[in-house]
Amino acid sequence: MKRIAIFVWTLVVLSAPDATAQCNSEALSNQCIPKLASGFNFLKSYKIDGEGGAKDKVEYSYVFTKGTQYMINICAPNQPTDGIVVTLYDSNRNKVATSKVNGQYISAIAYPCNATGIYYIQYTFDGSSTYCGGSALGFKR
Amino acid sequence: MKKLLIALVALTIACGSEKKNEEQAFMEELNNTEENSGPTVSEAVIGDILQQIPSPLEIAVLLKESGKKYNASLLNSPDNLPKYNSNYKKALNLGIYGADLGYTNIYEQNQDGIKYISTIKSLADGLNIGQFFDIETIGRLATNSKNLDSLLLITTQNFNAINHYLQTQNRANLSVLLLTGGWIEAVHIMCSVAAQDPNNKVLQEKIGEQKVILENIMLLLPFYKEKDQNMATLLEDMQELKKIFDRVNITYTYKESTFEVVNGVMVIKDNSTTTIDITPQDVMDIRNTTLNIRNKIIS
């Protein structure tokens, strides 16, 4: 009985619409670029594709340098962030910043870096309906 | 294809006579399929490291913001373009000219910038990646300093697109060279400016913290040393530079950050610090060694 259930479940999953195909994370990341605050120079755009919930996080990394201020923002199809949270970790995986505070989802983080090193930019999905978004990274001195 | 494989795996499990727990077997097969269809570990690692390397634009902005004057003599002359016939030289010098273009853009030196745009387009065409360099738009933006933001944006986007494309086309070696060239040029410019201002501690620290980026580059180059003699030689040269950077000490102290939300933006107060111990002799040695490597690349 269990085997049949697995087989039926697999068929249902395979016949369902492909959630990943609906995520245009590239367009969303491009939308995020002009939303960087004034004075910030664009550095990178990041695609956030949770593949319809198959992925619980999407991670990138970048070398941040002391004395430079960075901005990371989030764009999502429906609401401002659609439950997408960006969390910044240092090279030792200490949490440096997160965009979720007191249950509120903030769509941009400004990070004046005081310690040069590799930082991990991790996007997670907290009650997201689309698991899809984009992000841009900018800098200013 | 992947869906078909998953279906076949599911069918096998459903019809098979093994006593093994079905769900466990299903997940194991699924994991194996995922691994086989994904990129090799080295390609994924290369991509991860490449994306970390910062833009040379950050150095140009630092120099301008600290009041340093524009100095075209620090840059690689566009007249050197005909010297670059191999893909190796083209990719490295594309990175160098890219950093130079960023420098001219930041200083709003449009006439010089236009020369670099044309040079970059030629090199990019030679590497079959010219389609990512929108020379018409960039050239138009470069004629008016009011377009600086757009110019910086589009050039950064073009270089990002080139790097992404090279990695997807299994030409990440060229991406490594492009980024290495850009980094060498940024360090060369920074060291040259520092030499004229030997008491500038901020600049010295900026040079010292390049150790972090060099460590990334040194992870990448060995991937290609067996197959490409040019890259093996570059690796040897860069190892000499690394020996000097190894004398630089970077001490990191973590302290939990604080934050406040201002106009819908979370503004972080970073309480962590790094201290960078670098001597004037280190700076001089970094400068000389970088210059030697750069001279080999641009000649």
Does the distance separating the beta carbons of B62 and A67 come in below 8 Å?
Answer: yes
Strands A100-101 and A104-105: antiparallel
Question: Quick check: helix, strand or coil at residue B285?
Answer: helix
Q: Do A96 and B57 touch (CB under 8 A)?
A: no
Query: Residue A97 is nearest to which of B157, B253, B266, comparing CB atoms?
Result: B266
CA distance B164 to B171: 10
CB contact under 8 A, B274 and A115: yes
Whole-Å CA distances, B112 to B1, B118, B223: 52, 10, 36
The total number of residues shown for chain B amounts to 299
Alpha carbon distance, N-terminus to C-terminus of chain A: 64
| Domain parsing of chain B, residue ranges | 1-38, 41-249+279-298
Residue B13 has what pLDDT?
38
Q: What is the pLDDT along chain B (299 residues), one digit of tens a residue?
A: 444 444 444 433 333 333 344 334 333 433 333 333 333 446 788 899 999 999 999 999 999 999 999 999 999 999 999 999 999 999 999 999 999 999 999 999 989 999 999 999 999 999 999 999 888 888 888 888 788 889 999 999 999 999 999 999 989 999 999 999 999 999 999 999 999 999 999 999 999 999 999 999 999 999 999 989 999 999 999 999 999 999 999 999 999 999 999 999 999 999 999 999 999 999 999 999 999 999 999 99
**Residue A2 burial class via C-beta count within 10 angstroms: exposed 0-12, middle 13-18, buried 19 and up:** exposed
Determine the pLDDT at residue B11.
38
CB of A81 within 8 A of CB of B240?
Answer: no
How close, in Å, is residue A132 to chain B by CA atoms? 20
pLDDT in tens, A7-31: 444 444 444 444 445 899 999 999 9
Contact A14 B268 (CB under 8 A): no
Contact A106 B272 (CB under 8 A): no
User: Which of A6, A71, A141 has the CB atom closest to B13's CB atom?
Assistant: A6
Q: How do beta strands B265-269 and A108-112 pair?
A: parallel
pTM above 0.90, yes or no: no
Distance from CA of B85 to the nearest CA of A (A): 30
**Which of B51, B202, B250 has the CB atom closest to A116's CB atom?**
B250
Nearest CA in chain A to B208: A116
Amino acid A106: pLDDT: 97
State the sign of the Cα–Cα–Cα–Cα dihedral B89, B115, B156, B63: positive
Q: How far is A110 from chain B (nearest CA, A)?
A: 5
pLDDT recorded at residue A2: 52
Identity of the residue numbered B103? Y
- How far, in Å, CA of B181 to CA of B93, rounded? 6
Residue contact A117–B274, C-beta within 8 A:
yes
pLDDT in the model for residue B172: 93
Whether the Cβ atoms of residue B298 and residue B272 lie closer than 8 Å to each other: no
Distance from CA of A16 to the nearest CA of B (A): 12
CB contact under 8 A, A107 and B156: no
**Please, are residues B194 and B282 in contact by the beta-carbon 8 Å criterion?**
no
Query: What is the per-residue pLDDT for B148?
Result: 86
> B261 CB near a chain A CB, below 8 Å?
yes
Which residue type is seen at A59?
A: E
Average pLDDT, chain A: 88
In contact, B49 and B220? CB cutoff 8 Å: yes
Size of interface A-B (CB pairs under 8 A): 144
Contact A140 B61 (CB under 8 A): yes
- Residue pair A19/B38 in contact (Cβ under 8 Å)? The answer is no
Q: Does the pLDDT value for residue A34 go beyond 90? A: yes
Nearest C-alpha in B relative to A14: B3
Asked if B80 reaches chain A (Cβ–Cβ under 8 Å), the answer is no
The angle, 0 to 180 degrees and rounded to 10, between the axes of the packed helices B280-298 and B172-195 is 130
SS (H, E, C) B154-168: HHHHHHHHHHHHHHH
Domains of chain A: 23-140 (2.60.120.380)
- CB atoms B273 and A114 under 8 Å: yes
Q: Do B264 and A107 touch (CB under 8 A)?
A: yes
The verdict on a CB contact (< 8 Å) between A42 and B48 is no
Q: Do A141 and B62 touch (CB under 8 A)?
A: yes
- The helix-helix angle for B87-106 and B110-126 (nearest 10°) equals 160
User: Any CB–CB contact under 8 A between B195 and chain A?
Assistant: no
Which helix (H) or strand (E) covers residue B266, if one does? strand B265-269
Tell whether B269 is within 8 A of chain A (Cβ): yes
ipTM confidence score: 0.84
The C-alpha atoms of residue A94 and residue B93 are separated, in whole angstroms, by 38
Mean pLDDT of A71-96: 95
| Cβ A47 vs Cβ A16: under 8 Å | no
Contact criterion met (CB below 8 Å) for A119 and A75: no
Nearest C-alpha of chain A: how many angstroms from B24?
12
Contacts of B157 in chain A (CB under 8 A): 42, 45
Predicted pLDDT of residue A8: 44
* DSSP for residue A98: E
* Among the listed residues A109, A31, A118, the one whose alpha carbon sits nearest the alpha carbon of residue B260: A109
The reply to whether B254 touches chain A by the CB within 8 Å rule is yes
Neighbours of B262 (CB within 10 A): 9
C-alpha B9, offset from chain centre: 42
